[in-house]
Amino acid sequence: MADNEGAFGIDEMLCFAVYAASRELTRLYRPTLEKVGLTYPQYLVMVMLRQHGESSVTDIGEKLLLDSGTLTPLLKRLQEAGLIYRRRSQGDERKVEVGLTEQGLALSERIKDVSKDLFTELCKTEERYFELLNSARALLRDAHELARRE
């Protein structure tokens, strides 16, 4: 519990529990993703593009909560691997559109069930899965809202 001065110990810190859980979950993905040559953030981009189709760099950053300093090199590596294309928007040359190549589509098909398989094993039941997902979404929403105010 909190010490005499009211400070939380490491075991009571929500931020540590979330941080540690995130690291452990990412670690669980690693063996599968290494086999196909992806990092976890690259995997997230591939999943997002599979789900939403061609998207602007801005939209990808907003959906995945990644800044351009993180996203640009990540996209460059995916493009160099032949998994995505990047091109200037026809309607607005300030925008860069990103989409999956045929090779990227094929890879995204191969990895489409990675999350489902992992969370079936981890959560055991659909009810538990959605309980955790909804709690995590609420925490993310609240933290994002608080961060915007600062």
DSSP 58-99: HHHHHHHT--HHHHHHHHHHHHHTTSEEEEE-SS-TT-EEEE
pLDDT on residue 92: 85
Extents of the domains making up the chain: 10-111, 113-150
pLDDT on residue 8: 86
pLDDT in tens, 136-146: 999 999 998 99
pLDDT on residue 61: 95
Q: Say how far apart CA 23 and CA 18 lie, in whole Å.
A: 9
Sequence-separated (6 or more) residues with CB below 8 Å from residue 50: 100, 105, 108, 112
pLDDT on residue 18: 95
Q: Say how far apart CA 112 and CA 124 lie, in whole Å.
A: 19
**Global confidence as pTM:** 0.87
pLDDT on residue 93: 83
pLDDT on residue 1: 53
C-beta separation of 26 from 18 below 8 A: no
pLDDT on residue 78: 98
pLDDT on residue 55: 95
| CATH number for the domain whose boundaries are 10-111 | 1.10.10.10
Report, as ranges of residue numbers, the positions in the chain whose pLDDT lies below 70. Answer: 1-6
